[in-house]
Structures are given as C-alpha cells and as structure tokens.
C-alpha cells in the first residue's frame, strides 16, 4: 500500500505536520519506553497536528479519511516509534464513537479538534439502568494513552432491576460508557515486554452516573453520522488500526537491518554481513513478505471501501476477508521483526538497539484481541461456509 498513491487534499496538511514530528518521535523512542507512557507534550503535538481526527465524523469537524489513508498515517507514525503509533491509533479509533452518538453529545465530547479520547471496548464493567442514566462501576485493562485523555470509555454489561439485559440473539447486552477522564482512576499495571510506552494500564470507575446519551453500542446501534466510513465494518476498522501499527514497526525493522548489515562485520571477518548469501536471501524474503501482506491488506480494504461507497453495506465474506488480512499483516510483521532481530545477532540484545524494541513491540501487537489468533478461526469459518456468529466481524 503506497502512501503516495493515497494522499487527498484533506489529509495533506496533517501529513505535513506529522513529517515535522517524526524526527523528534524517533529520537525520543527510548525515553518514551522508559517512561512507560506517551509524554504529554508529544500527545499534544499529535493532537494539534490533527492525528486524533482521522476517523472523527466530518459533521463535527473531523477529517473522516478513507480507510487507506488512515492506515498509511498510522504506519508512518509507528515506523518512528510503535508505542507512539499505538497511542495515535487508540485515540483516533476511539473517536469512532462520535458517529453513533446524538449529534449534540458528539460535539460536546469530540467537538474540540484537539481533544484526545481513549478507552476499552471489552465489557468489563457493570451499568445499572436508572432511567435517564446508567450507574457504572468497572475496571478495564489495556487503557492505552489514558493519561493524555480528556474523555474515556469502557464497555459495560447492562442490568435492569437486577437482571442482565440481552441482545435479540440471547448474548449479554453491553454498551460503551463515555465519561470525563477525571471521574476515573488510572492504575499503573503496565509492566510489560513490549509497547511499553503506551501507558496501557487499568482504568477504574466506581458508581459514576453516565447519561444514556453518552453511551453507544457498536453492535446494536446505527451510526448517526452519514458517510461510507461508518458503513465500513467497525471491528474491521479497529483491526486495521492494530495492523497498521504492526506494519509500520515492521517496515522500520526492515530498514534497520538493511542499514546494520551493510556496516557490521562478524568477529575476524573482512566482509560485511550484507555479503553473506544467507543474509541476502533473508532480506529478499522479508521484503517480499512485507510487500505481500501490504498488498493483501490493500486489496481487502479497497473491496470493502468500494462496497461501502456503492452499496451502503458489506457482505459477510468481505468483512471476513478484511479481518483475515489484518491478522495476517500483524502476524507477518511480527515475523519480520523477529527475523531482523535474529540477523542482527548480539548487537540487538541490548535494550539501546532499536531492533530490540521493535521485536518486543511486534509480539505484543499480535496479542490484541482484534488481530489475535482466534480471528483466523472466525474468518476461516466464513471461508468454509460454516454457521458463524458475525456480531464481532
């Protein structure tokens, strides 16, 4: 997926602003990892550039970019530093909630072009229906970038008169609850191997009141905003964000190893690693694998986008193809980071080397529920024509 082929006038100022930030982000990558969260000044610069508006509906001032451009922009940031790219992805995709909210509420929460939002879809909370509001308590893991957010959200099971409500298919009914960040407690649980700089600790609230208009169901509700982007599969869009970060990280890992092998010599050797046939073959294979993953993802995105624009709906088969492509891209990216790390040898075992960080970041991205191994099973059932619950597809 060539970024140059997918640049619109709408995104050009944003891209130019990002280009000016990339050297600083790359230079501060070790600092970001050591801090275990994205520094507030970098988050603010990303917000001022407009990064968190790429998914936000145009009717409330967002950029509402086409899916290809969303991926390209997130990849570019992640190539400088995967943790920064991850925080950009979370803040950008969380703004998808704005498409489902009543328009006045959407403007209240997302109207400021520099607002940053975050949260967790997983329904780890409990929301008691109290008529015009929900009484919400819960604790959510993976609250990436939360320290820089003005608003947060968390999925919650909905109860009425002590009974768990259910969707029409009998599954537990849950909604995303949106609340000011100062109503939440941020708990530092983020002691991990990779994506250390995302600050993805826990978010907790206890018996806060959330007006019903500040809640959304990405499964049961229909978008209030017009536009093909909001016909696009919600969970496919979220998966695209994850794999975009993984792909950007892999592209940078490939560039890192190409630079390293042209200068490094093994002990006692007179030639660089680049002169070894095994290294030459490995780099060629990595280049092809990365290109193939990008091509399959681009094909899936283009087919889904065309259907969203022309038919205002997407087939189950197209949605499955997109999810499969996202998972494949994430897995392939991790494999490339691993091979680059191995070729680098002992040089890459030091925490100061970027390939050490890229290797670890890549293998945390593969664990996200949007692109983890079970999504292969979901896509496979569709490919094989088996009966499948497609609510999360």
Render pLDDT for 182-230 as a digit per residue (tens, 0 to 9): 999 999 999 999 999 999 999 999 999 999 999 999 999 999 999 999 9
Q: Do 213 and 101 form a contact (C-beta atoms < 8 A)?
A: yes
- Residue 391 pLDDT: 83
Confidence band for 29, pLDDT divided at 50, 70 and 90: very high
pTM: 0.95
Residue 3, pLDDT above cutoff 50: no
- Residue 169 pLDDT: 83
Average pLDDT, the chain: 95
* Domains of the chain, start order: 3-99 (1.10.540.10), 117-216 (2.40.110.10), 231-383 (1.20.140.10)
Which pair of tokens denotes residue 393? 């597809």
- Residue 326 pLDDT: 98
Distance, CA of 235 to CA of 96 (rounded, Å): 11
Distance, CA of 260 to CA of 198 (rounded, Å): 27
Residue 392, pLDDT above cutoff 90: no
Q: Do 243 and 330 form a contact (C-beta atoms < 8 A)?
A: yes
Confidence band for 10, pLDDT divided at 50, 70 and 90: confident
Q: Which residues contact 321 (CB under 8 A, 6 or more apart)?
A: 300, 303, 304, 379
Which pair of tokens denotes residue 177? 């609850």
Name the 3-class secondary structure at 224.
Answer: coil
Distance, CA of 233 to CA of 231 (rounded, Å): 6
Across 145-172, average pLDDT: 95
Which pair of tokens denotes residue 187? 């708990």
Cα–Cα nearest to 149, from 181, 108, 101, 193:
181
Across 85-104, average pLDDT: 97
- Residue 21 pLDDT: 98
Residue 324, pLDDT above cutoff 90: yes
Across 173-189, average pLDDT: 97
Return the beta strands (E) in 181-216 as ranges: 185-187, 202-211, 215-216
Name the 3-class secondary structure at 389.
Answer: coil
- Residue 2 pLDDT: 47
Residue 5, pLDDT above cutoff 70: no
What is the tens place of the pLDDT at every residue in 226-285? Answer: 999 999 989 999 999 999 999 999 999 999 999 999 998 776 677 899 999 999 999 999
Q: Which residues contact 146 (CB under 8 A, 6 or more apart)?
A: 118, 119, 152, 181, 184, 186, 199, 200, 201, 203
Return the residue matching tokens 């600050």.
199
Distance, CA of 129 to CA of 35 (rounded, Å): 39
Q: What values do phi and psi take at 206, rounded to 5?
A: -135, 115
Residue 147, pLDDT above cutoff 50: yes
Which DSSP letter does residue 24 get? H
Which DSSP letter does residue 393 get? -
End-to-end CA distance of the chain, in Å? 23
Q: Do 304 and 318 form a contact (C-beta atoms < 8 A)?
A: yes
- Residue 268 pLDDT: 65
């Amino acid at each position: 997926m060539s970024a140059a082929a997918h640049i619109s006038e709408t995104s050009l100022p944003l891209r130019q602003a990002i280009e000016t930030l990339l050297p600083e982000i790359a230079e501060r990558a070790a600092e970001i990892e050591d801090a275990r969260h994205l520094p507030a000044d970098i988050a603010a610069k990303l917000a001022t550039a407009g990064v968190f508006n790429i998914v936000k509906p145009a009717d409330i001032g967002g950029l509402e970019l086409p899916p290809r451009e969303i991926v390209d922009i997130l990849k570019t940031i992640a190539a400088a530093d995967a943790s920064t790219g991850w925080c950009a992805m979370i803040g950008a995709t969380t703004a998808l909630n704005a498409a489902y909210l009543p328009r006045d509420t959407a403007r209240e929460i997302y109207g400021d072009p520099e607002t940053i939002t975050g949260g967790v879809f997983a329904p780890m909370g409990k929301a008691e229906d109290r008529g015009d509001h929900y009484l919400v308590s819960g604790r959510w893991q993976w609250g990436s970038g939360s320290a820089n957010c003005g608003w947060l959200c968390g999925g919650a099971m909905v109860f009425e008169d002590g009974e768990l409500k259910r969707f029409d298919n009998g599954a537990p009914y849950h909604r995303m609850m949106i609340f000011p960040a100062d109503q939440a407690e941020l708990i530092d649980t983020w002691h991990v191997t990779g994506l250390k700089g995302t600050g993805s600790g826990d978010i907790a609230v206890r018996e806060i009141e959330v007006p019903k208009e500040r809640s959304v169901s990405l499964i049961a509700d229909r978008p209030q905003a017009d536009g093909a982007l909001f016909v696009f599969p919600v969970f496919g869009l979220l998966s695209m964000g994850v794999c975009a970060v993984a792909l950007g990280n892999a592209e940078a890992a490939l560039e890192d190893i190409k630079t390293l092998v042209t200068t490094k010599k093994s002990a006692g050797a007179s030639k660089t690693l680049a002169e070894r046939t095994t290294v030459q073959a490995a780099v060629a294979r990595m280049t092809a694998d990365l290109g193939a993953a990008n091509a399959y993802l681009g094909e899936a995105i283009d087919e889904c986008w065309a259907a969203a624009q022309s038919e205002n709906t997407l087939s189950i088969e197209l949605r499955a193809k997109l999810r499969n492509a996202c998972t494949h891209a994430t897995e392939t990216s991790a494999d490339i980071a691993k091979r680059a790390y191995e070729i680098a040898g002992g040089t890459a075992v030091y925490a100061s080397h970027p390939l050490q960080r890229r290797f670890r970041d890549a293998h945390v991205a593969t664990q996200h529920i949007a692109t983890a191994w079970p999504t292969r099973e979901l896509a496979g059932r569709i490919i094989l024509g088996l009966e499948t619950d497609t609510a999360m597809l």
